[in-house]
Amino acid sequence: MEQLPSCDELPSIPGLPDPLVLRNGRRVATKEEWFSLRVPELRTLFQHYMYGYFPPPPETISSRILFEDACFLGGSATLKEVEIRFHPAAPCLRLLIGVPHKRQKDGCPVFVGPNFGGNHAEVPHPAVALPDVWMRSDIPGVVDHRATDAGRGKHPRFFFEKVIARGYAVATFYHGDLDPDKDDFTDGVHPHFAQRKERGPHDWGAIAAWAYGVMRAVDCLVTDPAVNPKRIAAVGHSRLGKTVLLAAAFDERISLVIPHQAGMGGSAPSRGTVGESVRQINDRFPHWFCGEFKRFNQHPEKLPFDQHCLVGLCAPRPVLFSNATEDTWANPAGQFDVLRAAVPVYELCGVSGIEAQKMPEPGTLISSRLGYFLRTGTHSMTPADWDAFLSFADRWL
């Protein structure tokens, strides 16, 4: 692990740091320098100070189809669930995939992302496996933190029928398969990748574990002949929006990313003064990030990056931020500023960034390569959000 300064040793940077300036103070001047110098530097910084270090990609990965139904949605699509194993002892990932029968010769584009309620809650299909791990009690059908058949089809967020009708495949997995969302690192994947008995300050947190799961889902999708491996979009809501943005920043096979209402730790600035703060998110969800991130609770201005740099790591790929008017906790205006601050990276890469100078009116999609959507309402992922996602993907995926 590279020796980097502690929080106390870092300089204060009140505004969003220049994404093109290296740690040594030199400014990258070309696209080649961005990818050879700044990208690896930023990936190290984000892991060291915020998300924790990913384990390396698995040497081997295996999968098996748990079930396959070619009569899904009245025979217009195939639904299948695939068990993915990437470690001999770690929990497996179950990926639920819906693919339209009407598709292009080179395979259909696909939306992939983690879900909150379990695969069984996305569609009311009796063959979809129930999660066998801890679940949040506010998910429909969960009893004593365990899934039951009563939850089948009761918590849809990926809206299989709508997305498939537009010609896209859908792939989703329960994020708790990788790491149940509670402050406990003795379950999920963490103990199987641990380098020591006690957790260190730079060990990966839950968001990195879920992002690792997104990458493993991509491993599966790029081998599926029904899917076009060059047209993979990652989408997630809230904490899972943070997850997919992190995954896209570290996995260039993701062609487009939509972190929906991802807020602090995702698409909102750590230096923001509206909505959730670094201290508040670390106090409430101490397991999401690495221990080192807590050192910035009172001094987010000492972070050597902000979330526009994470967006920059996705360049030149399209990124859509989407929000709701009443979700001020996620700081929608600050997220717009993050997109604007990533524009110099996109321009250095030879493409345009965001076309708008100010936030759109509710219901309006800014469909530039760095896109933005705002609807009326609260913190949720709705069919109206998916209408914007699909329109953005129609242009860019």
**Residue positions annotated with a catalytic role:** 238, 379
3 state SS for the chain: CCCCCCHHHCCCCCCCCCCCECCCCCECCCHHHHHHHHHHHHHHHHHHHHHCECCCCCCCCEEEEEEEEEEHHHHCEEEEEEEEECCCCCCCEEEEEEEECCCCCCCEEEEEEEECCCHHHCCCCCCCCCCCCCCCCCCCCCECCECCHHHCCCCCCCCHHHHHHCCCEEEEEEHHHCCCCCCCCCCCCHHHHCCCCCCCCCECCHHHHHHHHHHHHHHHHCCCCCEEEEEEEEEEECHHHHHHHHHHHHCCCCCEEEEECCCECCCECCCCCCCCCHHHHHHHCCCCCCHHHHHHCCCHHHCCCCHHHHHHCCCCCCEEEEEECCCHHHCHHHHHHHHHHHHHHHHHCCCCCCCCCCCCCCCEEECCCEEEEEECCCCCCCHHHHHHHHHHHHHHC
